[in-house]
Each structure stands twice: as C-alpha cells, then as structure tokens.
Amino acid sequence: MKKIILILSCFSILLVNCKSDVKSDAKPNVTSNVIPNQKSDTKPVSKPMATSDVLTGTWKVTDYDSQLQGIPDNVLQSAKNKTLTSSYTFNDDGTFILRSASVPNGNTGNYSYSKEANILELNYFVSGKQTKVIYQLEEVNATTTKWIQDMNQIGKIFITLKKQ
C-alpha cells in the first residue's frame, strides 16, 4: 500500500487535475516530489535558469507512454487519460500554466530550461503543496517536444507534446 501511495505522489504532475485524499509519508526524491506543509501563497523556490524561445507558447500533450513497474493497470490508464487532457503554456518570463480537463484554470508555477543539458524543471503548487518535476527533453523543435520523466527504480514516463 505504501508503494502505491509513493507512486501516486510521484505522479503529481500527471494527476494534477485530481484532488486526492491520499497522503504520502514518502521522502522527496530528485525527479518528482511534493513538499508537505507548504502554503499555496508561497512562491516556488526555483528561479528560471534560462528560457527558450522554442518552448515559449502552448503545448498540448498528444501521447503518453510509461514503463513503470508495480503499478496497477487501472492507475496507469487513469494517469494516461488525465495526462492526455493536459496542456502547458510557457511564458518568456519563466512562468507556466498547466491546464487539464478537470483543472481548466490551471496550476501556475515557474520553469527553468537548460538547453545544454536538455533538462526542464517545473515548480508549482498542487492542492497547496509545492511540486517539483524534472524532465529530460529527448526532442525539442518548433512543433514537437518529447519529455522523459525518470521515476528511479519504478521506471520512466514518456510524454509527447505538440505546439498549438
């Protein structure tokens, strides 16, 4: 049960449009973590490293795949369904909005993009908890970007987005 709770907390970016009664006692990890007891009016701690003109704009999730071990199929399918309703709007000033079908007004936060390392870091709040998610960008061009989220021992998540 604790493993499933840990997995669900790691899916915070994917499940951002769900309100959950599940609480995680898991320690934060590098790729995705929720920092408990943060107030929603607190600003994310990360400052933008550098923004990229290629990321600026609105991106719609068009494909989702995962290679995750130990996660029930119904949880994986739910994460996929929710993720496929998501879009990200990246602004020149290092801010972004993550919208989905169940959170149409979106969650706002800051992002940083390291072009040299192809790393995208998102910092935002979900239900009053600060969330940090790191993606390796496999591909970035004017129309398509492919993100990989390393979930450590659990596996990886692959997301493809198309510019709107």
Q: Which of 76, 74, 126, 131 is nearest to 100 (CA)?
A: 126
The tokens describing 11, both together, are 């899916």
* Model pTM score: 0.71
For 116-150, the pLDDT digits (tens) are: 899 999 999 988 899 999 999 999 999 999 999 99
Residue 148 DSSP SS3: strand
Question: Can you read off the two tokens belonging to residue 133?
Answer: 């998610």
For residue range 41-95, what is the model confidence (pLDDT) as tens digits? 444 444 344 446 789 999 999 999 999 999 999 999 999 999 999 999 999 999 9
141 contacts: CB under 8 Å, gap ≥ 6: 54
